[in-house]
Structure formats: C-alpha cells, structure tokens
Chain A
Amino acid sequence: MPVILLVLGAGFWASRDFQEIAAGVAIFLFGMLMLEDGFKLFSGGFLEVLLEKATASLPKSMGFGILTTTIMQSSSLVSIITISFLSAGLISLLAGVGIVFGANIGTTTGAWLVAGFGLKVNISAYALPMLAVAIVLVFQTNKYLRGAGFVLAGLGFLFLGIHHMKEGFEAFKDQFDLTRFALSGLVGLVVYTLVGAAATVVMQSSHATMTLIITALAAGQISYENALALAIGANIGTTITAIIGAMTANYQGKRLALAHLIFNVVTAGIALAFIGPLRLLVDTIAAGVGIPDNDFSLKLAVFHTVFNTLGVLVMLPLMRRLIIFLERAIIPPKEDLSKPKYLSDAVDEFPQTAEVALRQEVKHLYDNAVELIAHGLNLHRKNIFTTKDIAATVRASRRPVDFDLDERYEARVKTLYAAIVEFTTRVGTKDMPTDVMDDVYILRDVAGRIVRAVKSVKHLRGNASRYTERPQGAVTELYNQLRTEIARILVEIRQLDLADPKDRSPLWLDQQRVQVEQDARDTNDRIEGLIRKRQLDASVATSFLNDSHYAYSAMRDLLGAARAYYIAPEDALAEVEHILGLEDEELGSLVANALGDTHDDVTQ
C-alpha cells in the first residue's frame, strides 16, 4: 500500500490529468463495489435458487456463468458466490468450474461495452441522471428497491469512471507520450503481460484494467500490441480475487480457486504463444463484422473474447482430468469431528448458503451427539440401528463403553455448538431476509436442544452403568427401560432422516411423543408399587426418579429437535404440519385419557 500511495502522490504532483485518470479508476471501482452490494441485496433467495437450478449440467453451469457475469459485469462476484455455494455443498466442483469458465467468457462483454458504447457515446450524460435516480432508491426501506438503487448507482459510477478515464487520457496525450515506453517483440509481450497482471491485482478488477487499457488505447497512449499483452495479463491478475475469496473457504472452494488460476494461466499461455495467429484471426473477424481496421479498441474487445473463448474450448475436453488433478492436489483435511465442517466466512455472505451450511452443521452436531448418547448409555449405534428387538439388544448391552464423556462432550458437542451460536449471531448482523433469519434461529434452537439432551445423558450415565452392568433385579429393569426408550427415539429419528424427504413428516414423531409422556407418568406408579412390594430401596428409588427426569428431558429434547429440523422446507406444507401436529398440552390430556381408559377397562 505505501508504494501505491507514493506512486499516486508522485503522479498527482506531476500531472493534473493523471489525477483525472486515477479518479476515473477510483470512481469505476467504487461503482463496481456498489454493483456488488446491490446484487447482494437481491440475493435473498433469487440468485441462489437460480444458481442451484442452473448448475444441473456442465453446459448449464457455463451458460449460467456467462449470463450472470454479463448482467453483473463482475466475474469476481460470480466467482465468490460460486466458492460460497461450493463451500456450503450446494453445487459440485464440476458445476463450479463450469461457472468459472462461463464467467471468463461473460466478462468479455465488459470490453465490448466500454469499446463499443463507452467511447463512442457521451456516457457521462447518462451517468448523472442515473446517480440522481439511484440515490432516491437507495433511501427506500424496501430492500429490493435499495438493491436496484445500488445497482443503478454502480452503473452510474462505472459510466462516470469511464468518462473521467477517457477525458484524462485525452488531455494527458497532449503533455506526455506514453508510447515512448512501448516495447515490441517478446520483451514487450512479457513486460506488458506482467504489468496487466499487476494492475489487476492492485485494482482487484480485470474489468477496471480492461477499461483503462481500452481508454488508453483509444487515446493512442499505448500501442495495440502492448494492449493485447496487458489484456492477457489482466486475465491472470483477476484470479487473485478468487484466491483471496477461497482463503476462508473450505477445501472445495480452494480447489475452485486453483481451477480458476490454472484456466486463466493456460489461456494466457496459449494467447502469448499464438499471439501472431490470434492477431490475424482478430483482424479477419473484425473485417468480417465490419469493424474498421484502425478501430483498435473494438479489435481489443474481439481479441479479449477470442482468447477467452479459445481457452474454454481448449480446457473443456480436459475438464474431467482437471477435476481429478484438483481432487489430488487439494486433499480434504482429515475429518476432525470436533471442528465445524460447513460453517465458514465464505458461506455467511449469502442467505441460501448460510442456511444450508447451518442445517448441515446442526446435523453434524446431532451425529456427534448420537454417538455420545449411545455410548453414554453403553449402547452401540450399529446394534440399535439394525436390531428388530431394541429392548433385547439394550438388555444384552451391559459392558460399559470406556470413554470420557465429559471430555468428548467438550470436544465434539460444545465446540460445535459454540461455532453454531457464533455463526448465527454473525449472520444476524447481516442484512438477511426475515424468513431466512427465522429458520436460522429455529436451527440454533434445535442445536440447543441437542446439547441439552447430551447433558441430560451425562447426568444419567453413572447410575445407568452402575445398575445395568450386571443384573440387580428391579432397578436394572428400570434403567434398561430408560435406555430402551432413548434408543427407540434415536431409531425413530434415524428412520425419519433416512426416509425420502418427499415422503417424510415430523408428524411421524407424534406417537413417540405420546409414548414418552405415558411412560413418564407410568414411572411414578411403577416405583411406588416396587417400593410397596419392597423390591426397591427408597434411596435407590429417589436416585432413579431423579435420573428418569433427566432421561425424559433428553427424550423430549431429541424429539423436539427432530420435529423442528425435519419440518417441510416449503412454508405452506410446514404450516399444515404445524397445525396438524400435537401440542405439548395435548400430549398430557391424551395420556390422561389413555390412562383413564385403562382404569375403566380394569374396573369393568
């Protein structure tokens, strides 16, 4: 940064026109930032739903990359959204690479816009009214109107920036002749490619570099040959944005950034190696479409499109190999169950990815919790999930599982829960749509219930192990019953998870909820009976009642968490499920009625 500031200071001192060019670049970049902010406000589902649907095949992914980059005029924004989606597990690596390839073609429309429209029309005449209308929209409370305001302001600033760059170069050429620095031959190619790459790294926008190149070329300040090299360099420099974006992403995001780098470097290499034939091809195309021979700005736009398209054509047949290479080059980190798998800074920028990543992380927490709950009760998931007789399997599972539940809780549950709470808090500070935030808070509560269930089992573990390790009469049966009931709930939730999402409903769990309340009520009567018959010592009975309280709390929390987690994703269906589901108060009356029926049956 100090170097950049020094260069700017020296430039400002040396020339007023340099100030205008630098201000033009600054206004242009500011416009791009506003454009990005504007599109982010639209990403309340629309952009993400589109991305999700438009990546079903490679041609679709590429088409999506071309289209979105053309509309947004920022391949960097498209790359960052793609990395975010890839990190959240919403799209495949192949689809991600397809989008990046498409974005490289889409970004060439920017050069056409500047060369074909920006230089030939007085675009500042459009810029100022656009900015005036934009500011009215930006102050609206509706987020989509605000988004439209930012997009319009962004375009206005882009136009204004181009205007100042053009004006600056026009005046600059009267004082200085930059063509004195023109280099021909191989040296010129290499030097200007590096300059183009460096300029793009500094400005973080190949679009801005291309605009600068085209305006300088139109003012005759750089040679056509050097402009071609600068354009090639800009393509290499632009990969830096994706690399920065991938730093906070998971390994998939990093793979995509590497793919972007490889693609752009290979494309640049091809363009440099075949610069002569490419120039001829550009001349032929330009003549074919009626571009005058001396209109180097438009010819540069043709060159930009040709070499990016050529890059895609060369890389497409190598796509599968590229994917294999990426998968080998960046190996997924060895799974650490104590660390969040899906939550990262890369996913919390966009509502859809934030929600999906959180949902997956909550599932990750649940899977860890199930291991702890099962082992805490000296059960093995494999056995309880495959048996046809859960009670018998639980009775037979007597050997204590040797592990430190407190330590495992800290490592695999508490850390994940902390990450989930931190993530939801962070997401809450962003401008997320209300419905997304509602879902985010529901998922945070689901995580809370899962954690409470594990804590309850922690309390239960000591006596559950002590009284079930070997048969000790009635007390062993009582603890086995608690273990069986918890195991049944884990099995029910697993069945719900494995079912086809189109067929499953949290209503499936209602009978289990009734059962839990019925069993909880039966427990007291049963204990009293056992004490009366002197089959249970009063102090043991007190401990058991205490433990059964923890066990039923764990069951209620697990069922409550699953009911909220597996609610239908479509709002109207979720409403139906909510209306039809049993409320907690209803469970009590249902159980009372059932018990009443039983008593009636007994007395009859």
Chain B
Amino acid sequence: MGLESTIEKLDKYFDRLEQGKAQKIEPEHVDEVIRKLEARAQQLEAELADTHKDAKKERVWQKIELVHKQKDRALWLKEKLCEAP
C-alpha cells in the first residue's frame, strides 16, 4: 500500500489548516484511530479463529492485513504531525 495519496492528502490538510478551514490534528487524535484499528484487528482475529471455511479465512486474513497496513500509515502520520512546526 503506497503512501503517495496519503502524502497528498496530508499536504492538502496542511493547506486547509493554514487557511483556518480544518481543525488541528493532535497526536492524540491519531492515537485514538490507532486504538480503533487495534480493536478491529482483535475482533477480526477472533473471527478468524472461529472460521473454518478456507475462502472466508482468506477474506478475514486480508482484512487483518489491511488493518495492519492502516496502522502503519497511522504511525507514519503521527510521526509527520509531530515533526510539523
């Protein structure tokens, strides 16, 4: 999962923030989303453990994988926000 569009969206967010059209994101806001993603991952892992059909296992597994990628993106975002002046 590439970061290009995330970078683009982050740039646009900074522009809107400068114009006073967006609410400032604090690192705690990203932590809150990370918490939600972790909760989702746990929920999916429980679902995976309860799944026997291979096709369904595959679908749940893909979901877990994406949640992990989203979490990585969130950590990256937090880092960028902390670096921002």
Q: Which residues of A contact B (CB under 8 A)?
A: 389, 391, 503-505, 507-508, 510-511, 514-515, 570-573, 575-580, 582-583, 585-586, 589-590
Contacts and interface: CB of A to CB of B under 8 A. Distances in A.
Interface in B10-64: 10, 13, 22-26, 29-30, 32-33, 36-37, 39-40, 53, 55-56, 59, 62-63
5 contacts: A514-B66, A573-B33, A580-B77, A582-B1, A585-B5
Contacts of B30: 576
B73 A580 contact: yes
Interface centre among A391, A576, A582, A586 (most CB of B within 10 A): A576
Interface of B: 1-2, 5-6, 9-10, 13, 22-26, 29-30, 32-33, 36-37, 39-40, 53, 55-56, 59, 62-63, 66-67, 70, 73-74, 77
A577 B33 contact: yes
B25 A572 contact: yes
A580 B25 CA distance: 13
Nearest to B4: A586
B29 A511 contact: no
Q: Would you call the interface of chain A mostly helix, strand, loop, or mixed?
A: helix
Contact of B29 (A573, A586, A589): A573
A570 B55 CA distance: 37
A503 B53 contact: no
A503 B39 contact: yes
A389 B26 CA distance: 41
Given A389-B56, A514-B66, A572 B33 contact: no
Nearest to B50: A388
Nearest to B32: A573
Nearest to B77: A579
B74 A576 contact: yes
A505 B30 CA distance: 12
A585 B4 CA distance: 11
Q: Would you call the interface of chain B mostly helix, strand, loop, or mixed?
A: helix
Contacts, number: 74
Contacts of B24: 572
Contacts of A391: 55
Contacts of B36: 503-505, 507
Nearest to B60: A511
Nearest to B76: A580
B37 A507 contact: yes
B23 A575 contact: yes
B2 A589 contact: yes
Given A503-B39, A505-B36, A507-B37, A580 B13 contact: no
Given A510-B70, A570-B29, 6 more contacts: A503-B36, A507-B40, A507-B67, A511-B63, A576-B33, A585-B5
Contacts of B10: 579
Contacts of B56: 389
B70 A507 contact: yes
Contact of B5 (A389, A511, A586): A586
A503 B44 CA distance: 14
Given A389-B56, A505-B37, A575 B70 contact: no
A503 B74 CA distance: 16
Nearest to A584: B5
Contact of B53 (A389, A576, A582, A589): A389
Given A571-B23, A572-B26, A580-B74, A508 B40 contact: yes
Contacts of A583: 5, 9
Given A503-B39, A504-B36, A572-B26, A579 B13 contact: yes
B39 A576 contact: no
A572 B29 contact: yes
A576 B2 contact: no
Contacts of A504: 36
B82 to A, nearest CB: 14
A502 to B, nearest CB: 8
Contacts of A582: 1, 5
A505 B22 contact: no
A585 B9 CA distance: 13
Nearest to A514: B66
A511 B59 CA distance: 9
Contacts of B2: 586, 589
B62 A515 contact: yes
B63 A580 contact: no
Given A503-B39, A583-B5, A590-B1, A576 B25 contact: yes
Contacts of B5: 582-583, 585-586
B29 to A, nearest CB: 4
Given A573-B32, A576-B25, A576-B30, A510 B66 contact: yes
A577 B74 CA distance: 9
B84 to A, nearest CB: 13
A576 B40 contact: no
A199 B32 CA distance: 57
A511 B62 contact: yes
